[in-house]
């Protein structure tokens, strides 16, 4: 077998390799719709510089490497997405792609590689260990079965939360936050890496402001995605915020993304309240929704407790690896 790595020659091949690999790793997560997947190439999030490579076995493209070099913060990191089609593993291609990642990290003066693997298959973990990467953080993917929600329980959780949240008002919107809220939402989003557990990963808070948040949302829309967002406001300022994102033409599946409460406003059940309100908001907009998935650090006991109370159940665990170069 001749192993080689070369520059990207076809975006369609990336979809083919990534969708088959994802289905093998996590068959219960619907993969991105092809036309939306292909939009990422021309619509990256702000501050992301991406390099892409194909891996070949005897001239056939069966592996893919994506390297993300953050440009606005986390300047010592490289995000690594590395995959080989299931039928072509253990022939040295993963290692050849990894060697390119190390070489490109040096060219960009980066000190750490970070990437993740799911626990359902041993391949990713054993590969990461074989290159000397260390587990930095364990994430749990939890799923909410929207077809089997306990409506009475949700109503009860909501009214309990409201009792603790006097003086706060809720507002929901789609996409870019309204002008009067966007600075406050950007502040909350910027806190995320400081507030949520990051384990042993070397990672710094994102430098977030209204412009970056707006551009991120515009790039998401250009990729065919719609985000449903809810904030809790105090004196007109958002102090808690959550959002769910789904592909516009994917009716049955969505992702629960960030939920964050300003430290000065914790203890008022605002995390629970914005999540329950936003769930109702997304269900009204997507009546055929069946499942919502979310990732939380295994050590994030508060968020996991809120999710569990709402009906989320653990689906699998992911390790976020770090290799110090």
Interface residues toward ligand COA, by CB under 6 A: 21, 25, 82-84, 89-95, 115, 117, 122-124, 126-128, 130, 321
Q: What is the number of alpha carbons within 13 Å of residue 221 lying toward its C-beta?
A: 10
- Which two tokens mark 23? 């289905």
Q: How far is the CB of 23 from ligand COA (least distance, A)?
A: 11
Task: Quote the CA–CA distance of 81 and 69 in Å, as a whole number.
Answer: 12
Q: Report the residue number, 174 or 317, with the smaller CB distance to ligand COA.
A: 317
Q: How far is the CB of 52 from ligand COA (least distance, A)?
A: 15
- Residue tagged 């997560």 (tokens): 29
| Alpha helix stretches (DSSP H) within 109-229 | 122-130, 151-164, 182-195, 210-222
Q: How far is the CB of 26 from ligand COA (least distance, A)?
A: 10
**Cβ(146)–Cβ(290) under 8 Å?**
yes
Q: How far is the CB of 37 from ligand COA (least distance, A)?
A: 17
Q: How far is the CB of 21 from ligand COA (least distance, A)?
A: 5
Q: How far is the CB of 107 from ligand COA (least distance, A)?
A: 21
Q: Report the residue number, 96 or 165, with the smaller CB distance to ligand COA.
A: 96
**Cβ(74)–Cβ(204) under 8 Å?**
yes
Characterize the bridge pairing of strands 313-324 and 134-145: antiparallel
Element (H, E) at 135: strand 134-145
Q: Report the residue number, 25 or 189, with the smaller CB distance to ligand COA.
A: 25
Q: Report the residue number, 134 or 313, with the smaller CB distance to ligand COA.
A: 134
Q: Report the residue number, 118 or 244, with the smaller CB distance to ligand COA.
A: 118
Q: Report the residue number, 17 or 270, with the smaller CB distance to ligand COA.
A: 17
Characterize the bridge pairing of strands 77-84 and 112-118: parallel
Element (H, E) at 102: helix 93-107
């Amino acid at each position: 077998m001749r192993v080689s790595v070369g520059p990207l020659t076809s975006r369609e091949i990336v979809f083919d390799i990534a969708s088959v690999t994802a289905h093998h790793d996590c068959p219960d997560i619907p993969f991105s719709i092809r036309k939306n997947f292909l939009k990422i190439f021309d619509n990256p999030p702000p501050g992301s510089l991406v390099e892409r490579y194909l891996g070949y076995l005897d001239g056939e493209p069966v592996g893919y490497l994506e390297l993300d070099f953050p440009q606005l913060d986390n300047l010592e990191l490289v995000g690594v997405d590395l995959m080989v089609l299931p039928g072509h593993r253990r022939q040295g291609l993963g290692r050849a792609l990894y060697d390119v990642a190390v070489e490109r990290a040096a060219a960009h003066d980066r000190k750490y590689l970070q990437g993740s693997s799911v626990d359902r298959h041993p391949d990713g973990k054993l590969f990461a260990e074989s290159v000397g990467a260390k587990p930095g953080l364990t994430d749990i993917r939890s799923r909410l079965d929207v077809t089997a929600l306990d409506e009475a329980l949700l109503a009860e959780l909501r009214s309990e939360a409201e009792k603790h949240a006097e003086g706060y008002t809720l507002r929901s919107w789609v996409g870019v936050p309204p002008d009067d809220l966007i600075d406050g939402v950007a502040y909350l989003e910027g806190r995320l890496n400081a507030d949520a557990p990051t384990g042993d990963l070397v990672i710094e808070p994102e430098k977030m402001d209204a412009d970056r948040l707006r551009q991120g949302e515009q790039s998401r829309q250009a990729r065919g995605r719609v985000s449903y967002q809810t904030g809790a406001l105090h004196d007109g300022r958002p102090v808690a915020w959550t959002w769910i994102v789904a592909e516009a033409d994917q009716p049955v599946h969505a992702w629960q993304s960030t939920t964050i409460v300003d430290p000065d406003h914790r203890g008022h059940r605002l995390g629970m309240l914005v999540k329950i309100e936003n769930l109702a908001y997304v269900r009204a907009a997507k009546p055929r929704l069946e499942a919502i998935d979310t990732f939380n650090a295994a050590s994030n006991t508060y968020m996991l407790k809120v999710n569990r109370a709402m009906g989320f159940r653990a689906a699998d665990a992911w390790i976020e690896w770090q290799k110090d170069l």
